[in-house]
Chain A
């Protein structure tokens, strides 16, 4: 069954700690994305990657970092520099970023709570 997995589903951290969210896809998609979702604000793009070893900042990249060492994997690190990290994080992928017609497929999300 092809799809996107994110782990863990729920994550709790103390303020000042870095935390890494996992995202894996077996859809053979070139492009991958990280979004942050807050109540009433829709989805905001954090980072995206069009191909292995390449990634670009989205609209709200400050305080976050990513890597893309394998086509299947696009982990997101929430650093201690992120001022308000508590949110629902969604990973997505698409066949390619070369055309706007390709839909994005989403993982189940990780809810991060920082206290």
Chain B
């Protein structure tokens, strides 16, 4: 069985500051990992995903995430926050051998202060 935890339900950063959103997963098989963003009253949009290969994954809007197997983590970062980054962010894990079985984390709301 898989699970995802996201440390911090709400994170605030100043515009221009580093964004760090934490995601830790639990999986009995090698995982596939995803980050999604959701703006208010909208659906989820894929930011990036890790399947195999390079552990540092670059996504849209300047975001990137690093898969660290030893730490069972997949933290999302962006060097400089923009006001437009304010949204809810979801980490998700999917099993690699038993078909698709997405498990989403509870989400982290990011606020960007001027």
Contact = CB atoms under 8 A, between A and B. Distances in A.
Interface of A: 4, 6, 31, 33, 40-43, 45, 88, 90, 92, 94, 96-109, 111
Contacts of A106: 36, 43-45
Nearest to A59: B103
The 3 closest A-B pairs by CB, nearest first: A100-B94, A106-B43, A106-B44
Contacts of A111: 41
Nearest to B91: A42
A101 B96 contact: yes
A100 B49 CA distance: 11
Interface string B82-100: 0000000010001111111
Question: Which range contains the number of B residues in contact with the other chain?
Answer: 20 to 34
A4 B42 CA distance: 12
A42 B32 contact: no
Interface centre among A40, A97, A100, A104 (most CB of B within 10 A): A100
A43 B105 CA distance: 8
A106 B43 CA distance: 6
A56 to B, nearest CB: 11
Given A40-B106, A42-B106, A42-B107, A97 B99 contact: yes
Nearest to A102: B100
Nearest to A97: B100
A101 B98 CA distance: 11
Contact of A103 (B41, B46, B96, B105): B46
B42 A104 contact: no
B43 A98 contact: no
Given A90-B43, A100-B32, A103-B34, A40 B9 contact: yes
B72 interface: no
Contacts of A96: 100
Contact of A42 (B52, B98, B104): B104
B7 to A, nearest CB: 14
B14 interface: no
Contacts of B9: 40
Nearest to B44: A106
B94 A90 contact: no
